[in-house]
Structure formats: structure tokens, C-alpha cells
Structure 1
Amino acid sequence: MSAYLVTAPVLGWGRADDLFAAAIRTGRGPLWFRREDGRGRIPLHVERWCAAPDRADLTLLDRAAGRGLPTLDIGCGPGRLVTALQRRGLPALGVDVTRAAVTRTIGLGGSALCRSVFDRLPGEGRWGTGLLADGNLGIGGDPAALLRRVAELLAWDGRLLVEVEPAEVDERLTVRLEDGRGRLGPAFPWARLGASAATRVAETCGFTAVGDWRSDGRVFLELAVQRAAPA
């Protein structure tokens, strides 16, 4: 998971805050999103992100590897997914705004860039598969803007594999990172969408839902780009 927004002044905790970077370096939490609306905290699964892919991750990796196409992992975090794909012989690249996450990915043998998904990226319009795992559909607090950008990055016949919330939620919120010592990072926008809400938004952004599955309490969608083949 990582946080991006289109405009540089609000790239937020990916650059300005050390809490996420510190957790990634140690591979340990606890770490939460504290909601600014006073409705509590959302736990972040640092230990899982820094471990080897689990059973639910493997279902995602199998789908990506089964297509056999270059894969872009958006908000790659500490790199467990992009590294696993490369170990399977699949061309893959991770992008993340947190330098500590990119450093960890490269240390695992993966390929990653310290860059926002809204920045200029290699292979724009040619990626066969995109990944938005670990809640990264929330990046920037505007799922429609994010999905339109991802549609630009993927090929005309590309697919996006996205993890959504297990509950049917559809909310835009402002959060702060909070660590186990009660330290808070700066506020930034985020979003949480369940399968139905994510599908509705995706259909307005150049995608069609073509599959879904569940594994170990996690929920995933497969979205197909809806764009004409090049002449």
C-alpha cells in the first residue's frame, strides 16, 4: 500500500512522513490509518506486506502470471508481489512513492521505481496487466482519477487485477498514519470501495468487470480495458 495524489504538494506521507518508511524497514507494525472523521482506525498489514506471498496473494499472482504479459504493480510497497512475478520469469515493474519500499523491493531482487503512478512511467499504453493490491484502489482518495490513469498505462487488451474491501463500502475519507507509539503523520485523502462500488466506478473509467474471486477473506476483481485495438 502506498499513497499518491496528482499534485506534488499533497503527495503526503509517501515523502513527508517517516512512519510508513520505518515500518517497512523493520517489517513490523503496528500501523493504522486514523480516520479524521473520528470513526476510529483502520489496521495496516505491515507484517503481511513484508512477508512472502500468502495463499490469497498466490491467487492474484497466478492470474497475472497466467496471462504471461508485462505487469505493473502500482503501489508495490516492499515488493513481495513484483518480486514473486519476476521469479516466475514474468517481466514486471513496481512503482511506489516511498523510497524505503523501493529500496526493499530492489534488495529482494525486484525492479521498482520511486515514482507516483501519475508521473511519467516506462511503457505507457503497453502494460498487459496492472496490479492494485492491498487497498491501493484508495490511492489519492479519488478512485475514478486513479482508474482513468491506469487505463492509460495498460494496453488496449490489458487487464487490471484489483483488491477491494471485503465489505460493501463506498467512502472517501481523510486519514493520518498512526504508529504503535501514538505518533501521527500528516493528513491525506484515501478511499475504500467494495466490489459493487469499485465495479460501478470502473465502468465509468474505461473498464469492464470480467471476473471476481475471494481467498482467505480478501476480495479481488479482474477488470478489462475497453479500448479499440490499434489500427
Structure 2
Amino acid sequence: MTVLLRSRDGSAQPLAVADWAAPATAAERVLLASLRGPVLDLGCGPGRLVVALAELGVPALGVDASAHAIDRARERGATALRHSVFDALPGEGRWQSVLLLDGNVGIGGAPVDLLRRVARLLAGEGRAVVEAGPPGAATRCGEARLERDDEISGWFPWAWVSADDLVRVAAAGGLRLVGWHVTAGRWFARLGRVTP
């Protein structure tokens, strides 16, 4: 089953649905083991990262707007809530780690606003881990839809941010680069709050 994420300009990229539902990879587990808890996973989907964190003994909560995703997460034993990332969330300003992996920096189609929201969720010394597209990838905001065989979703706001542009986008959202974690061809930025 191939699922495509298609943008309004007609370009499309395949989504690895099997990966989305699979357990965390070895490379992801190394990254997760480096996090301080509690961890908030924004756009948690079926909870694979929340489950991996629990297995590592790190307290975590997943948040997703999809009822189907939250049902799947809870079936796997993940602690997860159905909310928009822009809704009021438990523990605001007290999360030691906030995750935006698997392209979730695109949620809402306005990455600066999303990262500004993340900054408000973090504790003072907390860190966000944000996955970016590889260097050279396009950074853009727009609308996208999901396509699978004859099933097509409605258009929703989405963004794509490359590693080349993430530091600038993060700074506009009140976050600063602490460092990069690059593994298995994936680019993860560690971001902290900008202190006045």
C-alpha cells in the first residue's frame, strides 16, 4: 500500500506507512535514550516513539489530532491524548523534551508558529528535538493531502523545512540550535529556548 503526501504544486512524496506503524528503529532508540524526561511527542501517530521511551524508562506523553492514531497508540500501551498541538496541553512550560519527528515540523503549515508553541511547552533548560529535511531539500509552506489508491484526503496546511533553513526558522520561533544529531540519513536538531 503506497500513500503519497501531495502538495498543491502537484509534487508528491511517498510516505513510509509501514515505518510509521513499526517499532522505533535502533537509530531512533539511541536518540530517544539521550532525552531527559518527561517527553512530549507532538504528532505521535500510533505511539511508536512513546512506547519506545516507556521501554527505556523515560516518562512520555503522545499528542495527536487523529482519533485513529490515538486509538492505535493506546492499543500499543502508549499514554496519548487526542488534541491539536495548539490546544492547551498538560504540563505547559515543564516538559524537558519535546519531539517533532517524522516530518511533524510541518504540522499546521506555519513552522515558525509551531516552534514558538514548542518554546512555550519546554521547561527553561528543556530541549526540542526537531527532524528536518536533508540539506538541499526545499523549505516551503503550503497545503498537502494524502492519497492512497482511490482514497484522497482533503487539503490541510503543511510545511517542509530543510536542515539548511531550520536554524533560521527556529530563531524566529524563539529557539536556538544546541546541536545536530545526524544518523541513518536523518537530520535531528536539538533546540533550546532563547533566553533574554
Structure-1-length-normalised TM-score: 0.81
CA contact (8 A) 2:95 2:121 kept: yes
Match of 1:135 among 92, 103, 124: 103
CA contact (8 A) 2:114 2:173 kept: no
Within 5 Å, which residues of 2 pair with 1:170-189? 170-179=139-148, 181-189=149-157
1:25-74 per-residue CA deviation (whole Å, 9 max, x = no partner) reads xxxx4211112112x2111111011111113312321222xx3x200000
Find the counterpart in structure 1 of residue 133 from structure 2.
165
SS in 2 for 1:120: coil
Find the counterpart in structure 2 of residue 51 from structure 1.
22
Pair 1:223 & 2:195 matched: no
Instruction: Give the distance between the partners of 2:176 and 2:135, measured in 1 at CA.
Output: 21
Q: Which runs of 5+ in 2 are unaligned?
A: none
Match of 1:152 among 117, 120, 129: 120
Q: Which runs of 5+ in 1 are unaligned?
A: 1-28
1:195-217 per-residue CA deviation (whole Å, 9 max, x = no partner) reads 12111011122211011122111
Find the counterpart in structure 2 of residue 102 from structure 1.
70
SS in 1 for 2:152: coil
Find the counterpart in structure 2 of residue 195 from structure 1.
163
Quote the offset at 1:103 in angstroms: 1.0
Instruction: Give the distance between the partners of 1:59 and 1:219, measured in 2 at CA.
Output: 14
CA contact (8 A) 1:37 1:174 kept: no
SS in 1 for 2:61: strand
Amino acid at match of 1:207: L
Structure with greater proportional strand content: 2
Amino acid at match of 2:12: R
Quote the offset at 1:167 in angstroms: 3.6
| Ranges of 4+ aligned residues in structure 1 off by more than 3 Å | none
Instruction: Give the distance between the partners of 2:28 and 2:56, measured in 1 at CA.
Output: 14
Structure-2-length-normalised TM-score: 0.95
Instruction: Give the distance between the partners of 2:66 and 2:55, measured in 1 at CA.
Output: 23
Instruction: Give the distance between the partners of 1:187 and 1:154, measured in 2 at CA.
Output: 30
SS in 1 for 2:34: helix
CA contact (8 A) 2:176 2:194 kept: yes
SS in 2 for 1:149: helix
Between stretches 111-120 and 40-49, larger displacement belongs to 40-49
1:143-179 per-residue CA deviation (whole Å, 9 max, x = no partner) reads 0000001111111111001111124321112211100
Find the counterpart in structure 2 of residue 33 from structure 1.
5
Q: How has the CA–CA distance of structure 1 residues 191 and 184 changed in structure 2, closer, same or farther, with 3 Å as cutoff?
A: same
Quote the offset at 1:89 in angstroms: 1.6
CA contact (8 A) 1:74 1:94 kept: yes
Amino acid at match of 2:75: G
Find the counterpart in structure 1 of residue 31 from structure 2.
60
SS in 1 for 2:4: strand
Find the counterpart in structure 2 of residue 3 from structure 1.
none
Amino acid at match of 2:24: P
Instruction: Give the distance between the partners of 2:49 and 2:77, measured in 1 at CA.
Output: 12
